[in-house]
Amino acid sequence: MSDKSKADRPANAQSNEHSFTLPTILSGPILRKCTGSEITLWLATSKPLEGQFALYLSGEDQSIYSIGLETGEYVQLGDRAWAYLLNITGDFPTDTPLEYDLITKEGNLTELVSDILYESENRVQFEIKSRADYVMHGSCRNPHYPSKDSLVAADNKVSNLAIEERPSMLMMSGDQIYADHVAGSMLDAIQQVIALLGLRDETFIDAPIASASELYQHESNFYERDKILPHYLDGGEGAIERHVWLKNWLTRKSPVFSSRESGNHLISLAEFVAMYLLVWSPTLWRFVDNTALEQNGFVHANKELAPKWQKLWHEEFPEIETFVVGLSNVRRLMAHIPTYMIFDDHDVTDDWNLTRGWEQAAYQHPFSNRIIGNALIGYWIFQGWGNTPSQFDNAFISSVRSVFDNNNTNQHDALISRLYKFEQWHYTIETTPKVIVLDTRTRRWRSESKLNKPSGLMDWEALSELQQSLLHEPAVIIVSPAPIFGVKFIEMLQRGMTILGQPLLIDAENWMAHPGSANTLLSIFTHSKTPTNFVILSGDVHYSFAYDIRLRFSKSSPNIYQITSSGIKNEFPDPLLKICDVLDRALYSPRSPLNLFTKRKNLKIYKRDPNFDGERRLINQSSIGEVYLDKTGKPTKIQITLAKGDVVTFPEVEKLQ
- Does residue 123 carry a pLDDT above 70? yes
Left (φ > 0), alpha (ψ -120 to 50) or beta: where does 63 sit?
beta
- Residue 457 to residue 440: CA distance in whole angstroms: 5
> How far is residue 457 CA from its own chain's centroid?
17
Q: Are 198 and 81 in contact (CB under 8 A)?
A: yes
Chain segment 442-457, per-residue pLDDT in tens: 999 988 778 778 888 9
Chain segment 282-328, per-residue pLDDT in tens: 999 999 998 999 999 999 999 999 999 999 999 999 999 999 999 99
Q: Are 43 and 28 in contact (CB under 8 A)?
A: yes
Per the DSSP assignment, residues forming a β-bridge with 473 are none
Identity (one letter) of the amino acid at 120? S
- Residue 347 to residue 354: CA distance in whole angstroms: 14
Q: What percent of the chain has pLDDT over 70?
A: 91
Residue with the larger pLDDT of the pair 17 and 92: 92
Share the mean pLDDT of the chain. Answer: 89
Residue-level pLDDT at 241: 37
Question: Which range is least confidently modeled, 50-64, 254-268, 486-500, 518-532?
Answer: 486-500
> How far is residue 304 CA from its own chain's centroid?
34
The mean per-residue pLDDT over the stretch 197-223 comes to: 96
Q: How far, CA to CA in Å, does 308 sit from each of 35, 220, 254, 298?
A: 51, 14, 23, 12
- Residue 525 to residue 467: CA distance in whole angstroms: 9
Q: At what angle do helices 515-526 and 460-470 cross, to 10 degrees?
A: 10
Q: Under DSSP, is residue 608 helix (H, G, I), strand (E, B) or coil?
A: coil
Determine whether 512 is exposed, middle or buried from the number of CB atoms within 10 Å of its CB (0-12, 13-18, 19+): buried
Chain segment 238-251, per-residue pLDDT in tens: 333 334 444 444 44
- Residue 561 to residue 603: CA distance in whole angstroms: 12
- Residue 655 to residue 585: CA distance in whole angstroms: 17
Question: Which range is least confidently modeled, 90-104, 276-290, 580-594, 610-624?
Answer: 580-594
Nearest to 437 by CA among 394, 390, 398, 476: 476
Nearest to 299 by CA among 311, 286, 283, 310: 310
Q: Under DSSP, is residue 467 helix (H, G, I), strand (E, B) or coil?
A: helix
Residue-level pLDDT at 233: 66
Find the distance separating the first CA and the last CA of the chain, reported in whole Å: 56
Contacts of 389 (CB under 8 A, 6+ apart): 32, 33, 38, 40, 73, 85, 87
Residue with the larger pLDDT of the pair 435 and 120: 435
Residue-level pLDDT at 508: 59
The mean per-residue pLDDT over the stretch 106-123 comes to: 95
Identity (one letter) of the amino acid at 654? E
| Residue 19 CB coordination number (10 Å) | 8
Q: Are 619 and 520 in contact (CB under 8 A)?
A: no
Left (φ > 0), alpha (ψ -120 to 50) or beta: where does 238 sit?
left
> How far is residue 351 CA from its own chain's centroid?
15
Handedness of CA 389, 393, 396, 399 (dihedral sign): positive
Write out the H or E segment, with its range, that includes residue 57: strand 51-57
pLDDT band at 16 (very low <50, low <70, confident <90, very high): very low
Determine whether 160 is exposed, middle or buried from the number of CB atoms within 10 Å of its CB (0-12, 13-18, 19+): exposed
Per the DSSP assignment, residues forming a β-bridge with 565 are none
Nearest to 146 by CA among 319, 309, 368, 322: 319
Question: Which range is least confidently modeled, 7-21, 33-47, 423-437?
Answer: 7-21
Handedness of CA 75, 80, 81, 86 (dihedral sign): positive
| Residue 164 CB coordination number (10 Å) | 10
Phi, psi dihedrals of residue 380, rounded to the nearest 5°: -60, -45
Q: Are 282 and 115 in contact (CB under 8 A)?
A: no
Q: At what angle do helices 184-197 and 307-325 cross, to 10 degrees?
A: 70
Residue with the larger pLDDT of the pair 108 and 455: 108
- Residue 485 to residue 546: CA distance in whole angstroms: 10
Q: Which long-range contacts (CB under 8 A, 24 or more apart) does 230-238 make?
A: 230/206, 230/255, 230/256, 230/257, 230/365, 230/367, 230/368, 231/255, 231/256, 232/256, 232/361, 232/365, 234/361, 236/501, 237/357, 237/450, 237/451, 237/452, 237/501, 238/450, 238/452, 238/500, 238/501, 238/502
Residue with the larger pLDDT of the pair 582 and 592: 582
- Does residue 14 carry a pLDDT above 70? no
Q: Are 343 and 380 in contact (CB under 8 A)?
A: no
Residue-level pLDDT at 622: 97
Strands, sheet with 81-89, edge to edge from the N-terminal-most edge strand: 25-34, 38-45, 81-89, 73-78
Nearest to 500 by CA among 232, 233, 231, 243: 243
Identity (one letter) of the amino acid at 627? V
- Residue 638 to residue 254: CA distance in whole angstroms: 43
Nearest to 141 by CA among 493, 505, 558, 569: 569
Chain segment 532-547, per-residue pLDDT in tens: 999 999 999 999 999 9
Which DSSP symbol is given to 408? -
